[in-house]
C-alpha cells in the first residue's frame, strides 16, 4: 500500500500485546499480513509449541507452501540470521514487541522532518558565515 494512502491518524489501534489465533486459512493470512505491517517484534507460536520471536520482514503467500521470514530478536535463539516459517506451522502470533511507530502521527513525522531540515540549513548558513562566505 502506498505510504500516502495508509491511515496516519489516531483512530488506529495498536496490536501491541495482542495474540491472534487464526481459526482458518483466511484468518491466518490476515494475521500474517498484520504481523508483516507491524513495526515491532512478534512471537510466532508453532503447532508443536516452538516460539520464535523477531521482526517479520517478508511473507510469501503466492507459493504452493506459503511462508514468512523473520529476523530473530536474539540470533542465538534460532541459530541463524533469519527464520523461514511455513504458514502451515503457525498456530498463533503474539505482538510481543513495542509498536515503535504507534501514536506517532503523520503530521508529527512530517513536522519533525521539516524541523530537522531547517536546523541543518541554519547550521550550514552558520558554517558558511564563519568561513566568510556569507
The SS3 call for residue 58 is strand
Is residue 9 in some structural domain? no
Residue 86 sits in the same domain as residue 115: no
Residue 52: count other Cβ atoms within 10 Å of its Cβ: 19
DSSP 100: T
pLDDT the model gives residue 4: 39
pLDDT the model gives residue 87: 96
The C-alpha cell of 66 is what?
506459503
Residue 83 sits in the same domain as residue 23: yes
The answer to whether the beta carbons of residues 31 and 20 sit under 8 Å apart is yes
Residue 48 sits in the same domain as residue 87: yes
Expressed as residue numbers, the domain containing 64 is 15-94
10-residue mean pLDDT series, the chain (134 residues): 41 79 95 92 95 93 94 65 91 88 67 87 89 76
pTM above 0.85, yes or no: no
Amino acid at each position: 500500500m502506498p505510504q500516502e494512502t495508509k491511515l496516519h491518524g489516531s483512530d488506529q489501534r495498536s496490536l501491541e500485546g495482542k495474540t491472534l489465533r487464526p481459526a482458518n486459512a483466511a484468518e491466518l493470512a490476515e494475521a500474517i499480513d498484520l504481523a508483516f505491517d507491524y513495526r515491532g517484534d512478534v512471537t510466532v507460536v508453532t503447532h508443536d509449541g516452538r516460539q520464535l520471536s523477531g521482526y517479520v520482514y517478508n511473507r510469501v503467500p503466492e507459493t504452493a507452501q506459503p511462508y514468512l521470514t523473520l529476523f530473530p530478536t536474539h540470533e542465538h535463539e534460532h541459530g541463524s540470521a533469519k527464520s523461514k516459517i511455513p504458514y502451515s506451522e503457525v498456530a498463533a502470533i503474539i505482538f510481543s514487541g513495542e509498536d515503535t511507530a504507534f501514536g506517532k502521527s503523520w503530521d508529527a513525522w512530517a513536522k519533525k522532518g521539516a524541523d530537522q531540515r531547517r536546523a541543518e540549513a541554519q547550521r550550514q548558513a552558520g558554517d558558511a558565515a564563519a568561513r566568510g562566505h556569507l
